[in-house]
Amino acid sequence: MELIKTVCRKNQKKHCSTTIGTITDCETTIAFRLEAIKDDIFKVVNFPEYSPKLYCAFPMIGTTDYNFPVVIHSESFVPNRERDGVEISKYDEENRERLIEAKDAFKRLLDIVEEYEWEESYNLCELQKVEIRDEDSKEWFKKEIFKPIKKNIYESKLIELDEQLDIEISRKPLSEIYIPYSDKRESDNENITKRIYNFASFIIPDELPKKEHLISWYNVLDFEMFENEKFDIGQLDKKVSDDNSSFQSFIDNYSMTEKEIIVFLTDLIEFVIEQGEEGLLNDYAIIPNQNNEFILQKKLSLDYISHKNLQDDYDEKLKELNRRLTNEDCKDFLLHKDFEKIENLIDEDEKFEFKELASQTDDELRNYEGNFQDEDFLLILKDIFHWFTNCGISEDTLSSMLPYFSLNKSQLYLNTKSAEELEYAFDIEISGKSEVLAKIANSKLNEEELGIIAENPDLVTSFINWLNHKQQDNPDEELGDIGEEFLNFELCKIFGEDRVLWEDKSAYDFRILEKDLESTKYYIDAKTTAKGISNTVNVPFYMRTAQWDFLDKEIAFNKYVIARIFKNGSVFKVKYVKINMTGMN
């Protein structure tokens, strides 16, 4: 290869300079414009649009659009009579030889570009469909010149990737690359192409040219020839659908978070609708359902499972009960809630309502033919009873939505019991201890352990007494902290925040100041118990040695108060006892 640097002067002053690279093969030379970057690294520069492509000592005017990527020069060319081109029929062997030499030189140029990683090589890749009237000349040109050049462009590592990619390879051949594409006849085609690139950069970042080169590759390539590299909106949707079936696929394939997935798919679906390509949403599954799986648009419905009195999350609980009962999940065909905001995505008539879900559930119970004593069915039935009682909707309204269950609740329950189990149920009901016994049944104790407890009631009573005594002797630290929080609130209400000092000493917890905010009115120690005052016949508490010693001091005389705090569930109560040391005669 040779480099020729030309300088253009205007009025004796340097106007511009141009570097031309040339490669010669036998009697033919190809020429191309370059711009030096550093050392042996160059940037390929395109020739002006008006520049002829063929030269024979002089330019052949009229060869601007000749189907060859670079300029060809040979003094051995035999121009046609008008000197606006060359003939390449079977009788024009001289011209055919020159073009073959030019093709070979071009192959060497591509090897150099690949080896030295020259930049902006898209300026060497402009090819058009072969348009030659003479069929023999056309077939020869396609076979001997056009197809080999296309193959070399296709297989050479000419395309620069994004420098920020965490991969060792910085360049790839066109055969391993997609070029985002939109119809070039559209007025906004370049902007649409850039938007497709932005989506593609999330899913195939190492199969795209660097962003700065996108439009250049888009403009230079004839996508009728490089059809497999055309990455239009349809190919984008197909790629997303083929490679992913759910949110988890996105997480595994692209390390996206759920929030990022929702943003990406929302933008993509809105883009498809905006481009008038809604049909793609039924060709490729890219819309998430409520199980985070991707479904075709025509298979999805809107979620209208709601009621003004329904408690929070009870719509989801009914969906789950229906799934367990019917083995069919309505969330498979319900649109993901985060995508309901997309306009015109699902027709308003395509909705699945609360009444329909309730009716399905009720019909399944009505027609149930399985084993009523099956453990799974028992758990489902229990949860339906709980849902019915706690969902927030009045029983009158529920009776119209779940008519069978409403009228047959008792019978459904009885169907789950054998005669012996019904007798046990009556014993439990008569005992008045059904709530407590239900808690025991739901504990982690197994049947054998529960049997031991039932057969040894005296031993259980002794253990409970011991446990109560242990709780009184070993106050819970966290419970004590909660009790002190409550006591601080109560004391501030009585004396005001300025007079209450929460000091947490070993002898006392609080000090109450007189109104002068200097002298002490009370020393108060907090003692908290989890047993409500009405639940026991005694309310013992312990005293630390430091407290006994403090009581002996003169400053504590007639000022020491025990605050006994009782916690019953979420309710607190407090009792105050003033104590003093005294001597006995």
CB 249 within 8 A of CB 243: yes
Mean pLDDT calculated for residue range 512-522: 92
- Report whether pLDDT(438) > 70: no
pLDDT tens digit sequence for 331-357: 999 999 999 999 999 999 999 999 999
Q: Phi and psi for 14 in degrees, rounded to 5?
A: -65, 125
CB 572 within 8 A of CB 486: yes
User: Which pLDDT score, from 0 to 100, does residue 415 have?
Assistant: 78
CB 88 within 8 A of CB 141: yes
What's this model's pTM, rounded to 2 decimal places? Answer: 0.69
User: Which pLDDT score, from 0 to 100, does residue 396 have?
Assistant: 92
Domain residue ranges of the chain, discontinuous segments joined by + = 1-156, 475-578
How many CB atoms neighbour CB 52 within 10 A? Answer: 19
How many CB atoms neighbour CB 566 within 10 A? Answer: 20
Residues 6+ apart with CB under 8 A from 216: 120, 122, 123
Question: Coil, strand or helix: which one is 384?
Answer: helix
pLDDT tens digit sequence for 402-425: 999 999 988 887 877 766 665 566
For domain 475-578, the CATH architecture is 3-Layer(aba) Sandwich (3.40)
Helix (H) or strand (E) run with residue 395 in it: helix 395-401
Of the pLDDT bands very low, low, confident and very high (cuts 50, 70, 90), residue 476 is: low
197 versus 456: the higher-pLDDT residue is 197
pLDDT tens digit sequence for 67-111: 899 999 999 999 988 888 899 999 999 999 999 999 999 999 999
Sign for the CA dihedral angle at 223, 225, 231, 233 comes to positive
User: Which residues is 275 bridged to in the sheet?
Assistant: none
From the list 376, 263, 390, 374, the residue with the least C-alpha distance to 318 is: 390
pLDDT tens digit sequence for 272-314: 999 999 999 999 999 999 999 999 999 999 999 999 999 999 9
Question: Coil, strand or helix: which one is 250?
Answer: helix
Mean pLDDT calculated for residue range 231-239: 96
DSSP-assigned letter for residue 13: E
- Report whether pLDDT(47) > 90: no
Our measurement of the distance from residue 4's CA atom to the centroid of its chain's CA atoms, rounded to an integer in Å, reads 55
Beta strands in 399-493 (DSSP E): none
pLDDT tens digit sequence for 56-67: 988 898 888 788
Residues 6+ apart with CB under 8 A from 361: 318, 321, 322, 325, 326, 384, 402, 405
- Report whether pLDDT(443) > 80: no
From the list 44, 49, 16, the residue with the least C-alpha distance to 31 is: 44
User: Which residues is 524 bridged to in the sheet?
Assistant: 510, 561
- Report whether pLDDT(519) > 70: yes
Question: In terms of DSSP bridges, do strands 41-45 and 58-59 run parallel, antiparallel, or are they unpaired?
Answer: unpaired
pLDDT over 90, % of the chain: 61
User: Which pLDDT score, from 0 to 100, does residue 464 have?
Assistant: 57
Rounded to whole angstroms, how far apart are CA atoms 254 and 239?
A: 13
